[in-house]
A and B are shown apart, each in its own frame.
Chain A
Amino acid sequence: MISHPTAGELIDSVIRFIEERAAPNLKDRDAFHARVAVNALAAVRREIEAGATAEADQIARLGALLETDGDWESLNTLLCERIRDGAISPTDQALLAHLHASIIDQVRIDQPGYAGLKTLEAR
């Protein structure tokens, strides 16, 4: 939408500033927090790129699974209730297929280097 710069370019510029200019002057806890800050910005960047598609895909899957329409929040809440009250079994294949696809999308945004992501992607 907005360009020159895009949100992604702005984030990249801040990441570069922290890594190249700010972090070398920090130590101990502040240096650690600078690394976490870079990770946080990188997650935001990935969320900007992939978040909307992941949410749309979730809404489509939730609609099919729960046989009803709604926005993400109401559908996700309904799913939680159905699992909690036993209407959907935690080992139900359709449920697991939804959870599988959703959590892969989320970990790709949150922590793409996490070993458990490769485990699930390989299945």
Chain B
Amino acid sequence: MNDLQHALGALAPDLSPGATTIVGLRRLSGGASQETWAFETDSGAPLILRRKPPGVTGSGNAVPLATEAALINAAAARGAPVPRVLAICAPDSDVGEAYVMSRVEGETLGKRIARDPPFAEVRKGLARRCGEVLAAIHDVPTEGLPPLAVSSAATELEKYEAVYRQMDARRPIFEAAFRFLKDRAPTLERPVLVHGDFRNGNLMVHPDTGLAAVLDWELAHLGDPAEDLGWLCTSSWRFGGSKPVGGFGDHEDLLAGYQAAGGAPIALERVLYWQMLGSLKWGCMCLTMYASYASGADASVERAMIGRRTSETEIDLVALLEAAA
């Protein structure tokens, strides 16, 4: 931490005019693949550092941090609300692979955003605003972006079916969902920049001004624009809220905002398709997390119990299959 304090201190003049060092460095979250730190410059600028922990090699689907930073800049250029990237640090720098961004005021806890009274006013326009912001992200020109994976519904299904088969779990609802979705997989006509994790919980929302920043770009890729809309509507991210879009809004408002901001029209049916794929994907992830308990890699009660959340995704899948039948 002392080394990091020094390394960031040396960057201070680039981070804020008149700054000479940094203060108040503290770790915010303990993600396995990514560290998040908060600090201020001595001139008072509130900042966030996202850094890859030293010694950790690339994790699964996550893009390099420099790519994340480039995508945030590209989204900002289209008018999407994002933090301002102030410095990008190379893997061999004193800070390590990282970037520094402005600290945006607001709330990210999904439950508060979906249900708490201080957010009642901004909730009314939030689904529409999410539609507008997704249209802006999907409008980012893909030429000139750092290399990104391309994925379609078919390739996503292939990936998660392999994960499920490997688990040797026999879950008829997953079987039905895989069958249903594979038979109806939309073709990927024109891949756009997809955020990949655009959901309640990764959106910074201010009780007065609404959507303040779109965070967590590490799963960004090129793909079907409806993927982002469907993931935002996936039941697992409603946090007890009663409405389909993130627990806070309606499909119609999301789609209206998307189209009003210039997004190519997306049929509700296609959003529901990706919503179902989202539940299936999260269900497979719950099984994967349980598998780390079963293998002994993480013997915590939390890893064991998360396997019992798979059934939440299954009940959502049954509801969607019934609606589609």
A90 contacts B321, CB within 8 Å? yes
Taking a contact as CB atoms under 8 Å apart, the answer to whether B318 and A83 are in contact is no
With A80-B172, A99-B176 as given contacts, are A107 and B315 in contact (CB-CB < 8 Å)? yes
B324 touches A91 (CB 8 A): yes
| A116 engages B305 (CB within 8 Å) | no
- The interface residues of chain B lying within 8 Å CB-to-CB of A40 are 301, 304-305, 308
Q: Is A33 an interface residue (CB 8 A)?
A: yes
Q: Give chain A interface residues in 81-107, CB to chain B under 8 Å.
A: 83-84, 86, 89-91, 93, 95-96, 98-100, 102-104, 106-107
Task: List the A residue with the shortest CB-CB distance to B302.
Answer: A36
Closest Cβ–Cβ distance, residue B38 to chain A (whole Å): 17
Among residues 21 to 64 in chain A, which have CB atoms less than 8 Å away from a CB atom of chain B?
32-33, 36-37, 39-40, 43
- Give Cα distance in the complex from A20 to B324, angstroms: 47
> Is the Cβ of B315 less than 8 Å from the Cβ of A104?
yes
On whether A91 and B315 interact (CB within 8 A), knowing A40-B301, A80-B170, A99-B172, the answer reads no
**Alpha-carbon distance A96/B238, docked complex (angstroms):** 24
A102 CA to B173 CA, complexed, in Å:
10
In the bound assembly, the distance between CA atoms of A37 and B156 in angstroms comes to 33
Check A33/B302 contact, CB under 8 A, given A110-B311, A114-B315: yes
Contact between B308 and A110 (Cβ–Cβ < 8 Å)?
yes
Q: Report yes or no: A106 in contact with B314, Cβ–Cβ below 8 A.
A: yes
Chain B's nearest CB lies how many Å from the CB of A85? Answer: 9
- Which residues of B lie under 8 Å from residue A33 when comparing CB positions? 300-302
Let me know if B170 and A96 touch, CB within 8 A. Answer: no
| Interface footprint category on A | 35 or more
Query: Is the CB–CB distance between B321 and A91 below 8 Å?
Result: yes
Tell yes or no: B190 within 8 A of A by CB: no
Q: Report B149-173 residues with CB < 8 Å from chain A CB.
A: 170-173
Q: Are B315 and A120 in contact (CB under 8 A)?
A: yes
- Using C-beta atoms within 8 Å of the partner chain, give the interface range for chain B: 20 to 34
Complex contact A83–B175 (CB within 8 A) = yes
Chain B residues, CB < 8 A from A116: 235, 312, 315-316, 319
Whole-angstrom distance from the CB of B244 to the nearest CB of chain A? 11
A97 to B309, CA, bound (A): 22
Q: A90-B179, A115-B238 are in contact. Are A99 and B173 (CB under 8 A)?
A: yes
Closest B residue, CB atoms, query A79:
B172
State which of A79, A89, A90 has its C-beta within 8 Å of the C-beta of B177.
A90
Q: Are A100 and B322 in contact (CB under 8 A)?
A: yes
CB distance from B180 to the nearest CB of A (A): 4
Residue from the list B175, B183, B308, B319 in contact with A80, Cβ < 8 A = B175
Which of A32, A96, A98 is in CB contact (< 8 Å) with B322? A96
Contact status of A107 and B319, CB under 8 A, knowing A36-B302, A80-B172, A83-B175:
no
Cα–Cα, bound, A27→B324 (Å)? 45
Q: B319 contacts A93, CB within 8 Å?
A: no
Please, how many angstroms separate the alpha-carbon atoms of A93 and B176 in the complex?
12
**Is A111 an interface residue, CB under 8 A from the partner?**
yes
B56 contacts chain A at the CB level, 8 A cutoff: no
Contacts of A11 in B (CB 8 A): none
- Give Cα distance in the complex from A39 to B322, angstroms: 30
Interface string of B286-325 (1 = CB under 8 A from A): 0000000000000011101100110110111011011011
Which residues in A have their C-beta under 8 angstroms from that of B302?
Answer: 32-33, 36
- Residues on the B chain within 8 Å of A107, using CB: 311-312, 314-315
Is A7 close to B, CB under 8 A? no
- Bound complex: CA A39 to CA B321 (Å): 29
**Do A119 and B312 have beta carbons less than 8 Å apart?**
no
